């Protein structure tokens, strides 16, 4: 079992091997910045402006080069509270932990447990990403009406290759039975800032967007998972 309730005032680097910082996100709307991660009896992921440029933080359990080889299956639960705001959000997700035979990142698959593109954060999106037989990126997203500005437990019961049951506060909201990831994954917790053209997220932050915008996470748990062995997901 993996568990972190983020007690104290520092990130436990034995559990979170990667802290994002120093590079621009692919949409070029923000930069990863270590100041975007704070621990003070709970994790805070901050998105903020610095000299006119948006910054945000993110952490990951790691992947093969760090010595972590991922977990397969089990139940993941994340308790979080996310304030309203246009153009800002989080991705609380499962990401491939290992590399392919050529040493590149295995992606997709990806399981996004929580994304919040709505401005008022009254709807949560969960998504499975995969690659079809022709090698094209595909995805299936589902929406749940829930007030994410209040505390909720977001979770999934993952049976690799067979079934993913998405739950909020212990109640099943969606079930995926096709294209369910079947390779070892790790947990990532990261902020997000949208660019002006990203209409799926309402566009870029505006003058009403809080600065800083702060997502709060009370705990992360992963139960019943099988720990992967080195090289087990190489294809």
109 upstream amide cis, omega within 30 of 0: yes
The whole-angstrom separation of Cα 71 and Cα 199 is 34
The half-sphere exposure of 113 on its side-chain side, counting CA atoms within 13 A, is 30
Residue 233 confidence (pLDDT): 55
Tell me which residue has tokens 């509270």: 81
The whole-angstrom separation of Cα 112 and Cα 114 is 6
Q: What is the DSSP string of 151-181?
A: -EEEEEEEETTTEEEEEETTEEEEEE-SS--
The whole-angstrom separation of Cα 6 and Cα 44 is 10
What phi and psi, each to the nearest 5 degrees, are found at residue 92? -105, 110
Bridge partners for 226 per DSSP: 72
> Which residue from 63, 62, 59, 133 is spatially nearest to 91, judged by alpha carbons?
59
Q: What angle do CA 184, 230, 92 make, to 5 degrees?
A: 30
Structure tokens at 101: 């035979």
The whole-angstrom separation of Cα 19 and Cα 33 is 9
8 Å CB contact between 39 and 216? no
> Can you tell me whether residue 217 is helix, strand or coil?
strand
Domains of the chain with CATH codes? 59-202+217-226 (2.60.120.200)
What's the first-to-final CA gap in the chain, in angstroms?
Answer: 27
Residue 97 confidence (pLDDT): 93
Helix, strand, coil tally for the chain in percent (to 5): 5, 50, 50
Residue 234 confidence (pLDDT): 52
Neighbour count for residue 100 (Cβ, 10 Å)? 13
Cα–chain center distance at 62:
13
- Predicted confidence pLDDT, tens digits, the chain (235 residues): 999 999 999 999 999 999 999 999 999 999 999 999 999 999 999 999 999 999 999 999 998 888 899 999 999 999 999 999 999 999 999 999 988 888 888 999 999 999 999 999 999 999 999 999 999 999 999 999 999 999 999 999 999 999 999 999 999 999 999 999 999 999 999 999 999 999 999 999 999 999 999 999 999 999 999 888 776 655 5
- For 54, the enclosing helix (H) or strand (E) is strand 53-56
Tell me which residue has tokens 């992967």: 228
| Whole-number Cα distances in Å, 143 to 159, 182, 199 | 21, 23, 16
């Amino acid at each position: 079992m993996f568990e972190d309730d983020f007690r104290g005032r520092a990130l436990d680097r034995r559990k979170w091997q990667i802290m994002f910082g120093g590079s621009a996100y692919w949409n070029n709307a923000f930069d990863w910045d270590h100041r975007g991660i704070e621990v003070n009896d709970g994790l805070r992921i901050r998105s903020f402006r610095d000299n006119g440029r948006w910054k945000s933080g993110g952490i990951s359990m790691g992947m093969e080069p760090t010595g972590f080889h991922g977990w397969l299956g089990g139940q993941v639960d994340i308790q979080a509270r996310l304030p309203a705001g246009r153009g800002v959000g989080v991705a609380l997700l499962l990401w491939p932990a290992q590399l392919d035979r050529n040493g590149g990142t295995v992606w997709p698959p990806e399981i996004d447990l929580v994304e919040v593109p709505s401005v008022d954060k009254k709807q949560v999106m969960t998504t499975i990403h995969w690659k079809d037989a022709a090698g094209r990126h595909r995805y299936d997203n589902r929406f749940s009406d829930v007030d994410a500005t209040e505390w909720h437990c977001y979770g999934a019961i993952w049976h690799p290759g067979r079934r993913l049951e998405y739950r909020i506060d212990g109640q099943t909201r969606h079930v995926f039975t096709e294209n369910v990831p079947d390779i070892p994954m790790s947990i990532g917790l990261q902020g997000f800032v949208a660019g002006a053209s990203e209409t799926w997220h309402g566009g870029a932050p505006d003058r009403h967007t809080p600065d800083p915008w702060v997502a709060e996470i009370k705990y992360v748990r992963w139960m019943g998972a099988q720990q992967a062995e080195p090289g087990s997901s190489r294809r």
